[in-house]
Every structure is written in structure tokens, then in C-alpha cells.
Structure 1
Amino acid sequence: MIHALIKRTRATWDDVLIQYKVFDKLIVILPVLVLSELMSYVLSEYPLFAAVAQRGLYLISVILIIRSIYAAMDAGNAIADSHHLTRRLPVKSFVQLIKLFLFFVGMILAVAVITKESPFFFLSGLGVATGLVMLVFRDTILGFVAGIQLAANRMVSSGDWIQMDKYGADGAVVEVSLTTVKVQNWDNTITMIPAYALVSDAFRNWQGMSESGGRRIKRAINIEISSVRFLTEQDKAKLLSVNHLKQYLPKIEAEISEINAHTSDIDNLVNGRRLTNLGTLRAYLREYLADHQNVHKGMTLLVRQLAPTQTGIPIELYIFTNDTRWAVYEDIQADIFDHIFAILPEFDLRAYQAPSGADVRQVGKI
């Protein structure tokens, strides 16, 4: 009758109770309790058998009650999971902890029923075994405490992308349980991380990046120092045809002319201020990236020059793509740098590249 009523309702959460057979397991308790009460009357002529049968039925009823509570808790966990409550709350950890507690309660009640002693008599003896319990269930206790901290601080939830090199984890969190966090790596392998390790050790959670809608590109291209020079008038005339420099060049030329008007001996290249091919490249890249359809307009956009090294002058792009999907992100990043490498000759610049075997052979031929 209960199943028929549930199937007629529009709600879906109550169907989970049928799936986990909560009512089937509850209803079995009733005849066992009735039998246990009637046993003294049925076997009134055999008091010893009646007592043994009654204790056996009490023991069965304890097991059935615990089993029913387990089923109800599993159903509750499934309902919470379907409503995405497990995204921010460690529901499964609480369920597992309560199950563990009920297991010990059931053991105490079972022994109490068999021996006809009060359960409090056995509870008083647990203090002696506390040290042993702490030793055996160390990971469980640490995992539970860590689970609360992870949930309270929103450090990690199911579906988050985390990276923890110490345990070789780099992928999506599949499950957060009482003692472990299950991560499915991008190569489809599974890594199990102790829950307390996420609190005591460092790890990276990429979920903030996914939720923000922008993924960072922070990569530099090294320019050969010897290729940096001042722009000539012919260079300026050529670069004026570049769309992303049509506004920049006239504006910066006006500023430079105003500054140089107060400078003597301006024909000497050392005097005054002049445009360089590297500075013009940076200006071009700023305009190019600001106009790029896949670059996030609401986040940081920098084209900066870093300190020179033995491999040249690093020109670093610090930008964010507006698509956080891994494959798309890699394509956008590759396309941007393909373009940069291709346009360097237009500015008479060269990217640094260490000599290869072919270079050495060419020098030997000369």
C-alpha cells in the first residue's frame, strides 16, 4: 500500500525509499517483535526453550532495526546527492560515521540481549578500550574531522578539479567519504587520498578558475637582444598599415615629438626619445589581445617585459581566456603564440633559439 501511494505522488525523492527497500526492511521488524512477545505463551511448557527463542528473536530484531536505519540513511544520502547537497556538505562522511556508531550500539545491545545485562553495564567498560579504539580507527577519526574542515572552509567538493602532486592526483573529485577522497585523474586512473591529507598538506583546487569563467595564460617568448633596434621612417610607414597600430603610432609619435622639441642635437640617436621595434611589438600585442575574441575582457591583460636573461629578453603575456575547457584553452593559447612567432619578422625581431646540430654543421661547412 505504501509503495502504491508513493508511485502516485509527483515527488521523486520518495521513490528512492522504494529503491533502497526502506519500508520492506521496516515491516519485517513487526512480526519478529510480535513473535518474541508470544514465545513465552507458545512455549509455556518449555521455559528454557522459550527464553532461548525469545532472546534469539530480540537479537534478530536488533539486527533488523539497525539494517533498516542503514537503508534509510543510504536513501537519505542518495536523495541529498540527487539534489546536489553533497557538493558543499560531506553527507556521505556523516552517514558513514553514524553507521559506525550504530554498529557499536548494535553490538552492545546484542550482547546485552544475550546476557540479559543492562547496556549501560557494557558502556561503562568502553572507557578501558578507548585507547584501542583510537588506535584502530585513527584514520576514520582524522578523516571525519578533516571532512568537517573541508566542508566548513569549502576546500574541496565532489566535481572539483584538484591537483595534488604528492599523491599523483590531477583530476575531478568523484567522492568525498569519511576517510578518503576519490579522484579520477585525466588519464582515467583513480587516486585515493586520505581526507586528512587535504587539510595537512598543500593541494591546488582549480574549481575557482572554472567558476570564474576565465583561465590564465602566463607564458613568455624570448627575443634576441641583438635584434632590438630603433624604428626608421621606413619602418614606421610600413607599420602604419597594420590595423592594431593605426591609432598607436600617430599618438605616440605626437608625444615623442613634443618631448624631443626640448632636446638639443636630436639627430644623434642617443639623444631624445625614439620608438623601438620591441616597444612597438608590445603595443601591437596589447591591441591584438584586447581585440581577440577568446581573451576575457573583464580580467587582467598584460604584455610585460621581464628581466633579460642569457636566453634573451622575455616578453610575457599575462591574460585570461574566456573558455576554461582544457582542450579549447590549449587551442587558444597555441593560436596566440603561433601568431606572435609568425609576425616577429615584420618587426625585424628574432625569437631566441639555442643552436641545434644543423646550425653547428652549417658553421663547420663555412
Structure 2
Amino acid sequence: MEVSSSFRETFVHLVNDIFPELTTGEPLFNVLATSAILLVSVVIYVIARLLIRPQIARIVYKSNNVWDNALQEYGFFRRLMHLFPALFIYITTPILIDEGAVLRGFLIKSAQLYMLYSGLLALYAMLSTVEYVYNSSSLAKRAPITGFIQVTKLAFAIVTILLSISLIVDRSPLLIVSGLTAIAAVLLLIFRDTILGFVAGIQIAANRMFNTGDWISMQKYEVDGEIKEIGLTNVKVQNWDKTISTLPTYSLTTEAVKNWRGMQESGGRRIKRAIYLDIHSIKLCDNDMLERFSKIRYINDYIEKKKNELQAYHRDSSIDESDLLNSRRLTNVGTFRAYLEAYLRKHPHINQELTLMVRQLPPNELGLPLEIYCFSARQDWVDYEKVQADIFDHVIAMLDPFDLRAYQRDSHLSSLHLAREVEKTSG
């Protein structure tokens, strides 16, 4: 109290030295006091910005902590400097200006609003720092917090706006909140996407449905790429063609989304592709064919095992092997299927711990589909496509040694036409 009185008396003496007959109750005194307060507050801000802030930055960059560097980068200390002039205005205004003056109330409320919004911006910088530090940690792979940070910022912004209104109209914030219930429906429409995004963010985080870095596909939005950011209202996805797609956050929980995270965590990427065989090329194996197949290293043991199995069957059933109607014989397509499975079992880039099979699908007008179902150990797109292409290069090249043909509509028709011409010529 004594400090305030002496400060006021000193200022009054300084004013009276310039304006001897000026009293504290006159408007000119209040204008001079206001000008002095604002001028000194500007000087305080300049000093804080030019002297104090560089010292803080020097201390921050010398440390090895991540969080204080992030605070500096997001402007926390810079925004905090605004509190010094605001506090000076708030403290000195009641001292220098009389209570009944209009400028007194204006300056005090302005200082309060200044401190309120400076604190809000500093709090925003702190929340951004928390988000940055969290995203830099391993916990970010489990659950993103960008949506929650944005909700927190929005909540603080709403509270700040309510407090600002209460300061301006000089009413309790509770009265203002109670008055907002009348326009709740309008607010729901305005913040519809925000509310839906917040609820979706809780579901995504609680169930670990998606995270930044996940590869997702959404046919409805033609999205196929990696999630870069999960925000309160929007999700940013960078497609493989390097375009950026922006989706509503709630669409991740309401639309059909394929998340490839399971594939990435499983250690394999699925290869599921069929080659159509010309049914006319499928036949029973004779001794010459079996002799030729037995020289293929992947299936020589398979051929010997099948030969012994068939011989035992014919002997036990008293069937002559030359009896084509009753004897059992291998087929070239079945032997080829066994060869492909053995080939995949030895392939260095196929994950042997996951499902691996070569199967026949139902025949159709295009022939007999022979499908390879396995998982590439290489998950990167380029390497995966190379592995898949190498496998089917080999599959197509090995059709001829097994006396098989791939179905191809034009070549198939031309071969039939050629066969008919040969029959006519020989006839």
C-alpha cells in the first residue's frame, strides 16, 4: 500500500512539474496517466523481448531436453513475454487513475483480456509441445492424441471466449452459460463435425483402430495410402501417387476401411493370383513323362513316392498297370501343382510360417484356374511386386516342360483352327 501511494505521489509530482495547476480529477491527468502506463508497458515488452527472451533461448538450446526445445519452437516463451506488460497495466492502472474514471475500467478490462489471450496462446504452445513430444515417442504407434489435443484447445478457447464476454458485460460466466442453452441446437449444428470427430477419436484411440503411419484403403473416397495425421475433424492421407486426401475423422468409424496394419505386422504380404490352364492340355502321365519329371530336383522325391504308392495300390487291388480304365495314374496338372508348391517351399522370399498352397479353382469358360496363395516376406510395394512377378515368370515358363498350356483366347482359337486344317489336309 505504501509503495502504491509513493508511486502515485511521484507520478503526480512529475505531472505537476509540467502542468502546475493540473489536478488528479481532471480528464487530462487521466489521459497523461494512461499514456504513461501504455508507454512503460511497451518499454517493458521490448526489454523482455530483446533481453530476457534471448537469454531463455540460449539456456534452452544448451540443454539436451526435447521438450524445452519444442516449447521454444512453438513460441511458448515468446507468448509468455506478453504477460509482463499486461500485468504492469493491470497493477498500475488502479494506482494512477481514480476509481470513477472511464479510462480506469477500460484499461483494467483490456489488461485482463490481454492476459487471458496471452495465456491462451501460451497454453496452445504447451499443448503443441506435448503433442510433439508424444508423437516422437514409441507410445504414438499405439494411439494418436492429435484429436484430443485439438479438443483440449477448443475447450480452452470456448472457456476463454466465455470469460471474455463475462469481463466485457460484467456478468458471471455461469449466467452466460445458462443463456447459451437457448441456442444449443444452433451450436450442435455448428459443431456437428467437431462432436462427431471427437467421438470417433475416442473410438479410434480406445480400440486402436487406426494410427499415423497405417496404410488404409477406402474405395468410396478413392483413398489408398498412408495416414499422415488424425485430427479432430479431418484425417490426412497421402496416397501412393503422392496426392493428399482429406477425410472427415468420423468416416474412419462409419465407412468401410481396409487397414493394412495386420499385413505389416504379420511379416508377410499376400500373393493371391491364378493362371488359367487350357483344359485341352491336361492329360495323364505316361512313363516317358514320369521319367522326365523325375529329373526335376524339386519333385524327384515326389515322383518316386507316387510311383511306389501307385504300384502298391495296383498290387493290392490286382489291377494291371496297362489297364487304362481301372488303373490309377498321375496327371501333368497334379504333378505341376506339386512342383509349384515345392518350388514355393524353397523360395527365399516367401514367408514359410504363413499359409502356403497351390489350389485349383472351379473351371470356367477360360479354363482351369490354378491359384498360388502364399505370403511374400518382402512387404515393400516395389520388392513385393518383384517377388510376385518372378514367381509367375517361372510358373509360365515351366508350363511347357509339363506339357501344359496357358489359356489365351486368340491363341487358343488359332490353335484349334490349325488343328482342323491339319485334319482336313490329312483326310
The code of the aligned residue for 2:229 comes to E
1:168: which partner in 2?
222
Instruction: Tell me if the contact between 2:349 and 2:377 (Cα under 8 Å) persists in the aligned partners.
Output: yes
Cα distance change of structure 1 residues 263 and 360 upon mapping to structure 2, 3 Å threshold: closer
Structure 1 residues 186, 218: closer, same or farther in 2, change over 3 A? same
* Greater than 4 Å deviation, 4+ residue runs: 360-363
Q: In the alignment, residue 288 of structure 1 is paired with which amino acid?
A: Y
Note the C-alpha offset of 1:2.
4.1
Corresponding residue number in structure 2 for 1:141? 195
How far apart, CA to CA, are the structure 1 residues paired with 2:409 and 2:181? Answer: 71
CA-CA distance at 1:319 after TM superposition? 0.6
Alpha carbons 2:144, 2:212 under 8 Å: kept: no
Unaligned runs of 5+ in 1: none
For residue 127 of structure 2, the aligned residue among 62, 68, 73 is 73
Q: Does 1:292 align with 2:347?
A: yes
Residue 53 of structure 1, CA deviation: 1.3
| 1:233-263, Cα deviation, whole Å (9 max, x unpaired) | 1111111211112111111111111111113
Partner of 2:61: 7
Q: Which amino acid aligns with 2:238?
A: Q
Over residues 200-221 of structure 1, what are the superposed CA-to-partner deviations in whole Å (9 max), with x where a residue is unaligned?
1111011211121201111111
What's the secondary structure of 2:272's corresponding residue? strand
Shift of 1:13: 2.2
1:309 matched to 2:392? The reply is no
- Residue type of the alignment partner of 1:335: D
Which letter does structure 1 place at the counterpart of 2:387?
A: I
Match of 2:323 among 250, 264, 268: 268
Instruction: Give the direction of change, closer, same or farther, for the CA distance of 1:157–1:339 in structure 2 (3 Å limit).
Output: same
Per-residue CA deviations over 1:117-174 (Å, capped at 9, x if unaligned) read 1111111112112111111110110011101111211111111110001001001111
For residues 324-339 of structure 1, the aligned pairs below 5 Å read: 324-339=379-394
Q: Show the 5 A alignment for 1:332-351.
A: 332-351=387-406
Q: TM-score, normalised by structure 2?
A: 0.81
Supply the distance in 2 between the matched residues of 1:242 and 1:217 (Cα, whole angstroms): 25
Q: For residue 399 of structure 2, give the secondary structure of its aligned residue in structure 1.
A: helix
Distance 2:354 2:309 in 1: 29
Contact (CA 8 Å) 1:263, 1:271: kept in 2 or not? no
- Whole-angstrom distance in 2 between the partners of 1:138 and 1:6: 41
Look up the equivalent residue of 1:305 and give its one-letter code: Q
C-alpha distance in structure 2 between counterparts of 1:95 and 1:127, whole Å: 26
Instruction: Measure how far apart 1:293 and its partner are.
Output: 1.0
Note the 1:109-128 alignment, pairs <5 A.
Answer: 109-128=163-182
The correspondence for 1:255, drawn from 303, 309, 317, is: 309
CA distance in structure 1 between the aligned counterparts of 2:99 and 2:136, rounded to whole angstroms: 55
Equivalent-residue separation in structure 2 for 1:245 and 1:231 (angstroms): 14
Task: Please show how residues 198-237 of structure 1 align to structure 2 within 5 Å.
Answer: 198-237=252-291
The offset of 1:104, in angstroms, is: 1.5
> What is the CA distance between 1:34 and its match in structure 2?
3.3
Contact 2:217 2:259 in 1 (8 A): yes
What letter is aligned with 2:88? V
Contact 2:354/2:374 (CA < 8 Å) preserved in 1? yes
Rounded to whole Å, the distance in 2 between the matches of 1:248 and 1:266 is 19
Question: Which of the numbers 93, 97, 109 marks the counterpart of 1:55?
Answer: 109
Q: Secondary structure at the match of 1:80?
A: helix
Which among 210, 218, 226 is matched to residue 156 of structure 1?
A: 210
C-alpha RMSD over aligned residues? 2.1
Tell me, what secondary structure is at the counterpart of 2:224? Answer: strand
Q: Partner amino acid for 2:157?
A: F
TM-superposed deviation, 1:70: 1.1
Matches within 5 A, 1:178-189: 178-189=232-243
Residue-pair matches, total: 366
Match of 1:246 in 2: 300
Give 2:153's aligned amino acid: K
Structure 1 partner of 2:46: none
Deviation for aligned residue 1:89: 2.5
User: Which one has more relative contact order, counting CA pairs under 8 Å at least 6 apart?
Assistant: 1
Structure having the higher helix fraction is 2
Using the alignment, how far apart are the partners of 2:381 and 2:325 within structure 1? 48
Residue 190 of structure 1 and its aligned partner are, at CA, apart by 1.0
Q: CA deviation at 1:360?
A: 9.4
Rounded to whole Å, the distance in 1 between the matches of 2:377 and 2:84 is 61
Q: Call closer, same or farther: CA 1:67–1:352 in 2, change over 3 Å.
A: same
For the structure 1 residues 298 and 357, does the alpha-carbon distance in structure 2 shift closer, same or farther, using more than 3 Å as the test? closer
By how many angstroms is 1:84 displaced? 4.5
SS where residue 237 of structure 2 aligns? Answer: strand
SS in 1 for 2:106: helix
Per-residue deviation at 1:110? 0.9
AA matched with 1:336: I
